[in-house]
């Protein structure tokens, strides 16, 4: 089978190098170019010795990198980069997969409010598909531009999808007069590979804190997607926290049920909804997920609890650098290129 020619813009950051780690093990991917402006000219394996013997590439400058020779270009860059290059790439038939937020929010005014920049290609945004393969599989298959869901949103959207779809289908399941509460915690790699005092070991280790309490940029994409699942606006209170870990996200989601929703067997609902999904594991009743159950793997693991008759608690874990970003993006590449969705993504989580 012909290999998919891949380019990675922003390859010297955490999600970029994670893309490279996964794609280097992918049987049908050929990495044409990887960019890093500050590190242009440096051998990738010199900077990341874990790739020695597996990757023979040098970081290139995106301005001169042969992106036009690719079938797919991933953007593992800050917000605002993919939208400035998407038009040129898609006009040449190249698929764009953005790990940042340029193609997540359908309303460009909402994008401007949260990201403090105007949208550069609203026509492409209108056609781009946002989400995860599990939530938008059919739409993604034929898309030219994919806006991958954020790391926190993937846990919360997959954690709530079966419930909210049932709510839309039969009505009166979830009490949406009160907010759904998502209490989330992330490891430090979620903040990227950059020099910043708050990311120093002495600052983040042996510590635990909330941040973005007044408002976090992931809220609007979650409300957009959850409302699509539910068929009505979903009120959400999302509070992110910083764990003194490197990888991993743990989201605990609290949902108040309506009387009709109290009689449902949610364990059975979720097991059925995700039975065919290779990367979503509904744990047996009574399980307590841990971040190390997913570290280094493309899995999301979910557990469900009924704490009170009208309170459903959903616990979700993922590795932010795999299912929360690079792994999910490779899964989406497999989908758009007609490859088996699991190719290159069958790594088992690291223990311990
Ligand atoms: N870390 C995570 O867990 C997750 C991250 N994301 C998103 O993915 C994107 C990448 O994140 P992450 O890997 O953590 O970020 P990093 O800060 O670790 O890396 C950013 C990369 O982008 C490059 N870059 C920066 N500015 C530009 C530019 N203007 N043009 C081209 N390249 C540029 C950087 O190298 P150089 O400047 O030298 O070119 C570097 O390679 C971000 O949008 C982030 O929000 C999404 C989900 C999870
Ligand atoms: C721990 C930490 O700082 N996490 C990042 C979120 C991860 C991320 O990169 O966000 P996107 O998915 O929107 O790109 C943050 O809260 O800003």
pLDDT in tens, 146-158: 999 999 999 999 9
pTM: 0.97
pLDDT at 352: 84
Taking the alpha carbons at both ends of the chain, their separation in whole angstroms is 36
Reported as a single tens digit per residue, the pLDDT across 301-348 is 999 999 999 999 999 999 999 999 999 999 999 999 999 999 999 999
Q: For residue 186, count other CB atoms closer than 10 A to its CB.
A: 25
Domains belonging to the chain, first-starting first, are 4-149+323-336 (3.40.50.720), 152-320 (3.30.360.10)
CA 311, CA 292: separation in Å to the nearest integer?
Answer: 27
Ligand 2 center to residue 13 CA distance, Å?
13
Ligand whose nearest atom lies closest to the CA of 326: 1
Please tell me the distance from the alpha carbon of residue 107 to that of residue 224, in angstroms, as a whole number: 9
Give Cβ neighbours of residue 336 (< 8 Å, ≥ 6 apart): 72, 95, 97, 140, 141, 142, 143, 146
Percent of the chain with pLDDT over 70: 100
What residue owns the CA closest to ligand 2's atom 7?
190
Q: Give the pLDDT confidence of 220-260 residue by residue, as tens digits.
A: 999 999 999 999 999 999 999 999 999 999 999 999 999 99
Q: Atom 3, ligand 2: which residue's CA is nearest?
A: 191
Residues with catalytic function: 151
Q: Could you give the angle at which helices 151-170 and 218-230 cross, rounded to 10 degrees?
A: 20
Supply the pLDDT for residue 276.
Answer: 98
Percent of the chain residues topping a pLDDT of 90: 98
Which of 192, 247, 322 is the best mutation target for the ligand 1 pocket, counting ligand atoms within 8 Å of the beta carbon and taking the most?
192
**Cβ 245 under 6 angstroms from ligand 2:** no
pLDDT (0 to 100) of residue 1 = 81
Would you say the ipTM is above 0.95? yes
pLDDT digits (tens, 9 = 90+) for 271-294: 999 999 999 999 999 999 999 999
In contact, 166 and 116? CB cutoff 8 Å: no
pLDDT at 188 over 90: yes
Is the CB of residue 327 below 6 angstroms from any atom belonging to ligand 1? no
Please report the pLDDT score of residue 99 as a whole number: 98
190 CB near ligand 2 (under 6 Å):
yes
User: Rounded mean pLDDT of 260-264?
Assistant: 97
**Mean confidence (pLDDT) of the chain:** 97
The DSSP result for 27-72, as a single string, is TTEEEEEEB-STTTTSBHHHHSGGGTTT---B-B-TTTS-GGG-SE
Q: Closest ligand 2 atom to the C-alpha of 218?
A: 13
Residue 351: pLDDT over 90: no
- Ligand 1: distance of its center to the CA of 322 in Å? 15
125 pLDDT band, cuts 50/70/90, is very high
Q: How many Å apart are CA 39 and CA 35, to the nearest integer?
A: 8
Q: Which residues contact 39 (CB under 8 A, 6 or more apart)?
A: 12, 47, 59
Cα separation of 348 and 156, whole Å?
A: 22
> Three-state DSSP class for 234?
coil
Output the CA angle 170-161-261, nearest 5 degrees. 40
Determine contact, residues 242/211, Cβ cutoff 8 Å. Answer: yes
């Amino acid at each position: 089978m012909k290999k998919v020619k891949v380019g990675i813009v922003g390859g010297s950051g955490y999600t970029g190098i994670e893309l490279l780690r996964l794609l280097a093990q992918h049987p049908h991917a050929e990495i044409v170019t990887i960019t890093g402006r500050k590190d242009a000219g440096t051998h990738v394996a010199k900077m990341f010795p874990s790739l020695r013997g597996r990757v023979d590439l040098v970081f290139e400058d995106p301005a001169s990198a042969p992106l036009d020779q690719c079938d797919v270009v991933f953007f593992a860059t800050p917000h605002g980069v993919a939208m400035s290059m998407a038009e040129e790439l898609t006009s040449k038939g190249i698929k764009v997969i953005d790990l940042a937020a340029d193609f997540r929010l359908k309303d460009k005014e909402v994008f401007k409010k949260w990201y403090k920049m105007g949208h550069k290609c609203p026509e492409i945004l209108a056609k781009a598909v946002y989400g995860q393969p599990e939530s938008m599989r059919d739409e993604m298959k034929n898309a030219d531009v994919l806006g991958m869901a954020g790391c926190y949103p993937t846990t919360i959207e997959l954690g709530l999808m079966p419930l909210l779809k049932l709510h839309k289908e039969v009505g009166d399941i979830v009490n949406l007069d009160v907010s759904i509460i998502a209490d989330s915690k992330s490891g430090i790699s979620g903040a990227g590979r950059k020099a910043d005092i708050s990311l120093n070991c002495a600052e983040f280790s042996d510590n635990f804190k909330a941040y973005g309490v007044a408002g976090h940029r992931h809220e609007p994409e979650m409300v957009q997607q959850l409302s699509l699942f539910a068929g009505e606006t979903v009120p959400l209170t999302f509070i992110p926290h910083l764990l003194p870990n490197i990888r991993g996200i743990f989201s605990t989601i609290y949902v108040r049920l309506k009387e009709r929703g109290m009689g449902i067997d949610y364990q059975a609902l979720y097991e059925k909804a995700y039975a065919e999904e290779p990367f979503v594991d509904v744990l047996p009743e009574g399980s307590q997920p841990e971040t190390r159950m997913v570290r280094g793997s493309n899995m999301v693991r979910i557990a469900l609890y009924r704490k009170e008759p009208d309170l459903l608690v959903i616990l979700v874990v993922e590795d932010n650098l795999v299912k929360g970003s690079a792994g999910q993006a490779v899964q989406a590449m497999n989908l758009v290129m007609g490859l088996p969705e699991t190719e290159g993504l069958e790594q088992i989580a690291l223990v311990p």
